[in-house]
Structure 1
Amino acid sequence: MWIYLIPGSPFGWITYERPEAAKMFNTIAEYGFQMDEDLGKAATRSLEESGLFERVYFTLGGETEEADLILRGTARRTLYRGTLITYGLSAYGPLLWLAGLPAGISKNQLELQLSLQDRANRELWSGTYGGATSITQGLYYNFGNDALNFAVLTQEALNDAIRDLEHRLPDIALALNASE
């Protein structure tokens, strides 16, 4: 990131594969996110709101014996790429931000792998969902939103997964009935 301080360098950049553990972004100091808990709770809420299942609850693994079906997920990719634009002016580049020029670009990428299993840990359904997006930031617009799109990408991925799961429910029900 500090390369932007070299005179003539138009920008500096930073890349994190685990943004929740990072300590420096374009416009924020850190991103408060607990991957396992936050993604699990988001999936729980999305499934509750979908109405596909009678009862949905979140657990970190302790109550899975009570469940007929278990949704497991893995974040296969969380990527943050930030570019801080200084227009080749080194430490003086931010003066142009005062005039409304872009201060940087933040790119967020997310890929989730989800699987639905029965009590015997047989996989009944699985899929990989995700996407990428970016925002341009300036002092007067999108400032502080470096990682905001991770929430949007998570919601979109879960919505795609639920639509896919809804189409597969008849097959899942057949598989469950055949195993009884």
Structure 2
Amino acid sequence: MKIGMLGAGEVALSVARHAVELGHEVLLSNHSGPEKLADALRTLGPKASAVTVVEAASAPVVLLATPWKTIEAVLKGLPDWNGRILIDATNPFLETIPKLVLADLGDQSASEIVAALAPGARVVKAFNNIVMTNFNAGAERENARRVLFVSGDDTEAKQLIADFITAMGFKTIDLGGLKIGGRMQQAGGPLAGHDFLISQ
């Protein structure tokens, strides 16, 4: 599978590392241009390459992992999605320093807003409930497996991403659609930030 990464921060690089370990091809992009990704490419190896944002967004599966305040600019002017999968790993933080400040989204989930900015994309919410320190520590902990949640309105797309996560060794739980399930796992939701475990 070819996976484009919109963003090259901790979340994108963590998912990219797991993806290349499974043999997937990863296309990294950031707002500064491919030349700024040399260190990441050395770490990830030959399955990863640095490309433009448009090239990354043209992959069959795309991970959105950019700061919340940039998502409109990042998603504007991209190629038509035409049913390609967009994994929304964003959290609606207006600020992270000196403290976390969440955007007021009204009755919408963050992923519903992402979906509106990427018409034609099959949006799946994932990688939000777990902090990256735990994600990078691996799927197993104390004879149990860590849990990642998925949400989405397209059953086929959601299953493909669930299978991708399961192949990493994690347990997946389907929370349903973007409106309710997305809000449950995004920052500020009841499932966000916890290290959930299921006994093996």
When normalised by structure 1's length, the TM-score is 0.25
When normalised by structure 2's length, the TM-score is 0.23
Higher Rg of the two aligned structures: 1
Greater relative contact order: 1 or 2 (C-alpha under 8 angstroms, separation 6 or more)? 1
